[in-house]
Amino acid sequence: MSDEPTLRVTVTRQEPGEAPRDETFDVPYDDRTTVLDTLDWIKDHAAPALTYRSSCRMGVCGSCGVMVNGRPVLGCETSVAGYRTSGITVAPMTHATVQRDLAVDTDEFLAKLRGVNPWLLPAPAAPAAPEDDPAATVPATVDVLRVHAQTPGQVKAYQGLSQCIDCMLCYAACPVLDDVAGFTGPAAIATARRWDLDSRDEGNETRFPLLVENEEGVWPCIQVGACTRACPKGVDPARAIADYQREAMGG
Ligand code: SF4
Ligand code: FES
């Protein structure tokens, strides 16, 4: 008999249209084993139909979010070594409908993200001077480079917010979404802020009213800060939301 240590892993499983149920497995592990590794082991050795998402296995794609002992984490970045005694319970992310087992429907989250125009909204381009216009002092190509060039300070203004990988952990952690399902949510607001702070972007006049003239925009947030604590990338959605609230009140 192997003397390899095992970890008790309870997985919340659910078929479409059925009630959730827990299944428990004893999974071999060592100091480098992640939550995602345990799910892979279960799928390979005990429950081939176990359904969950993953891709990059390195904290980049944002697809492997799950609840571990009630806390949203990236499965590929979360070591199980600290859970030797308690074991882990792995459940699907909250604030999203379960498709099967640990895979959740991301449509609502992505629709809210799309709703804030999470892309560069540039100022309308000035008509380019003809290449052969002797009166033109700056050729059109050079002018484009000038408009898009940024100082280190301008990059720094939005750099932290640009680290978002849309993993939904903040969305799962947000207690406001327990009561206000329509709340835009921390990730979409942080991403809106990322573009509003970008010196190349002129979209603030579009995004700002979307967030502050909508009672489900920034206003449901009561600054608990769970989103910021949950973020695996150091993004600070709570601060982004507070900044919009303050600006809307003239601060
Ligand atoms: S803000 Fe952080 S926790 Fe929220 S989706 Fe982006 S990376 Fe994930
Ligand atoms: S598998 Fe890509 S972030 Fe975990």
- Closest ligand by atom to 52 CA: 2
Integer Cα distance of 157 and 153 in angstroms: 6
- Closest ligand by atom to 165 CA: 1
Instruction: Note the pLDDT tens digit of each residue in 24-55.
Output: 999 999 999 999 999 999 999 999 999 999 99
Q: What is the pTM of this model?
A: 0.91
Q: Which domains does the chain have, with CATH numbers?
A: 6-104 (3.10.20.30), 107-120+147-248 (1.10.1060.10)
Q: Which two tokens stand for residue 49?
A: 């139909």
How far, in Å, from the CA of 126 to the mean position of ligand 2?
Answer: 42
User: In this predicted structure, what is the pLDDT of residue 125?
Assistant: 60
Under 8 Å between Cβ of 156 and 55: no
How far, in Å, from the CA of 167 to the mean position of ligand 2?
Answer: 9
Residues having CB closer than 6 A to ligand 2 are: 54-57, 59-64, 74, 76
Whether ligand 1 lies within 6 angstroms of the CB of 173 is answered as no
Name the band, by pLDDT with cuts 50, 70 and 90, for residue 251: confident
Residue in this structure with the two tokens 């898009």, named with its chain if needed = 148
DSSP state string for 84-99: TTT-EEEEPPSSS-EE
Name the band, by pLDDT with cuts 50, 70 and 90, for residue 107: very high
**Whose CA is closest to atom 1 on ligand 1?**
187
